[in-house]
Chain A
Amino acid sequence: MDASNITFIIAAYTVTWIVLLGYLLRLVRKGGRARADYERMAQQRSGEKSQ
C-alpha cells in the first residue's frame, strides 16, 4: 500500500514547491521589470524638468 502512495506524497510536495517557486519567480521578474521602468521614467521626468 505504502509503495504506491509514496508517489502521491512526492507529487503533492513537488506540486507545492513548483507553485511556490513559480510564483516567486514571477514576482522577481515582474518586480525587476517594474523597478527598471520606474527608474527610467523617473530619470526621464527629472531630465525634462531640469532642462
Chain B
Amino acid sequence: MKRGWIIGGAVVIVAVFGWLLFGGLEKNVVFFLTPKELLAKGNDGIGVPVRLGGQVKPGSVKWNAQTLDLRFTVTDGAREMQVHSTGAPPQMFRDGMGVVVEGRAGAGGVFEATGLMVKHSNAYRAPKPGEEAHEKYKTLIQQSTK
C-alpha cells in the first residue's frame, strides 16, 4: 500500500522530469512569440505550431455566433497579425485584452488558431463609470516584448 504510493509517485516525478528534459522546457521557457517575432522568422514561421501572444487590437473582433467563426487581430504595438479561430472564446476574451493563441501561421498571413487563452495583467481595479478596461493591456504587451 505504502510502497505502491511511493512507486507511483516516483514514476510521476521521473515522467515529468523526462518530459522537461526532452523538449518541453526549452519550448515553454518562452511561452509565446509576439507578432513581431513571428513575422521576423519569415517563411520559417509559417506552418509550424507556435503560440502567438499580444493584445487583441481594439475594434478588430468579428464574431459570428451562427458559424462560431472568430476573427481578430493580435498586436504587440509594433506589428500585428490576423487570427482566425473556430469555437466560442473564453469568457474573458474581449477587445483590448491580452491573449495567447495556439496554432500555425498560414501562408496567406492569417494565423489559424487551435487554442485560445486570455492573458491577464497584474492590475486589479474596480471599474469606474465609462472606463475603457483595455488600456492596461497595452503596457502589459510592451513589458513582455522588452
**Chain A residues within 8 Å of B, Cβ to Cβ:** 1, 4-5
Contact = CB atoms under 8 A, between A and B. Distances in A.
A5 B91 CA distance: 10
A20 B14 CA distance: 29
Interface of B: 91
Contacts of A4: 91
A1 B91 CA distance: 7
Contacts of A1: 91
3 contacts: A1-B91, A4-B91, A5-B91
A37 B90 CA distance: 55
A5 to B, nearest CB: 8
B120 to A, nearest CB: 14
A1 B118 CA distance: 15
A1 B93 CA distance: 12
A44 B91 CA distance: 66
A27 to B, nearest CB: 20
Nearest to A5: B91
A18 B91 CA distance: 28
A4 B88 CA distance: 15
Contacts of B91: 1, 4-5
B106 to A, nearest CB: 32
Nearest to B92: A1
B30 to A, nearest CB: 29
A34 B91 CA distance: 50
Nearest to A4: B91
A28 B136 CA distance: 48
